[in-house]
Amino acid sequence: MGPMRKDLCPSVSSIEPSRFCGPSWAGRCLEIDSALPIVVIVYDPRFLDHVPSPLHVERPDRLRSIVERLERERLFHGVETPPTATIADLRLAHRESYVDLVRNLGEGFLDPETAVHRDTFDIALLAAGGVLLATRSAVRDGHPTIALVRPPGHHAGPDYGGGFCYLNNVAIAAAEQVAAGRRVAILDYDAHHGNGTRDIFAESPAVLYVSTHEYGIYPGTGPAEDTGTDEGRGFTVNIPFTAGCGDASYAAALDSVIEPILGQFRPDVVLVSLGIDAHYRDPLTSLTLSSPAYVDLVKRSADLAARLCANRFTIALEGGYHLEALSEVIAGVVAGIEGRSIPLALTDVLDDKGRGREAIEATKRAHRDFWNLR
């Protein structure tokens, strides 16, 4: 097991207190439950230097609001600084020609909303390094980790970028684990389909890629019938929700698709591509998850990892563009995994009937030859 929460006490820890949250941290010893793990946070203020264009929704304030909320809740502890990913790391998921293109572009665009500037490649390397570090740490020590990074990654494929993504942070970390002989499950809860991650691992039976997304919006991919290709058939699982799907639909997807398939796949490590843009307050999509349901979704995924692969569980930030929703869900997730709860304001339940039933049935039909699904 990894470091437990008692490690936050000065009497039992060699970790310098300044890494935690100031004078108030000492009081935490009174409320510590040593049975629950701390969540190791990977973060670097240099992520704030990435500004694709003025007024872009994928903006530095996203991370500022998350860190502020974590600090306010006394959850911004155990923070580690990421290394820069190497070119060899990137080659695990991307073609050399694409890496060279982004590295040498200078000023330009991968698509109209994905601008490249002189510092973009270096910050993208740091984001990839953040998810690499978080994943290595989770695998080595058997504790949950969260990489609070920008830019996001799941729309970057083997030889393309776009959708605010340059390098596929999660895919690079997953590919490193596969190279070490491990089976990796990627749960992509961003509201958009992770076409990049899908394309990188479509042929691989060592990576189970599961995506819940609003089907029909950007990037347009991710129907239930796409189950992967060649040896990878059955290891791509798309749950293509429609506008309005939220709390009850995600709970049903967990119950009837995600949990049973993960249990049969038996991963060695679970990575979550966590976008908060399926929230009902998000301006970019029409999915309707509430904050408590989001926290529950990720908490249940963490519980699965605790049961199936000894807490080797890493969360990587993808999208999410409403600052209050974004920050309260991320803080709620960190608190929830540590056995605490924090007050959540955005609690409207807009889907209590399970509007996504049809999408879930389509996924089950597409996968009945691969997995035992009731």
Of 62-70, 88-96, 126-134, 270-278: span binding Zn ion (CB under 5 A): 270-278
Q: Which is nearer to Zn ion, 169 or 177 (CB)?
A: 169
Nearest distance from C-beta of residue 27 to Zn ion, angstroms: 37
For residue 275, state whether it binds Zn ion (rule: CB under 5 A). Answer: yes
Helix (H, G, I), strand (E, B) or coil at 368: coil
Which residues between 286 and 325 bind Zn ion (CB under 5 A)?
319
Distance CA 189, CA 329 (A): 13
Amino acid at site 182: R
Query: Is 329 exposed, middle or buried, given 0-12, 13-18 or 19+ CB atoms closer than 10 A?
Result: buried
Q: Which is nearer to Zn ion, 5 or 213 (CB)?
A: 213
Asked if 177 contacts 93 with a C-beta cutoff of 8 angstroms, the reply is: no
Nearest distance from C-beta of residue 275 to Zn ion, angstroms: 4
Catalytic residue among 50, 143, 154, 155: 155
Distance CA 342, CA 344 (A): 6
Which residue(s) pair with 185 in the sheet?
Answer: 208, 270
Nearest distance from C-beta of residue 277 to Zn ion, angstroms: 4
Residue nearest to Zn ion (CB): 319
Which residues between 185 and 204 bind Zn ion (CB under 5 A)?
190-192
Q: Which is nearer to Zn ion, 190 or 247 (CB)?
A: 190
Asked if 270 contacts 241 with a C-beta cutoff of 8 angstroms, the reply is: no
Which residues between 206 and 245 bind Zn ion (CB under 5 A)?
none
Asked if 319 contacts 152 with a C-beta cutoff of 8 angstroms, the reply is: yes
Nearest distance from C-beta of residue 157 to Zn ion, angstroms: 15
Q: Which two tokens stand for residue 235?
A: 């290891």
| 50 has catalytic annotation | no
As annotated, the active-site residues are 155
> Which residues make up the interface to Zn ion (CB under 5 A)?
190-192, 275, 277, 319
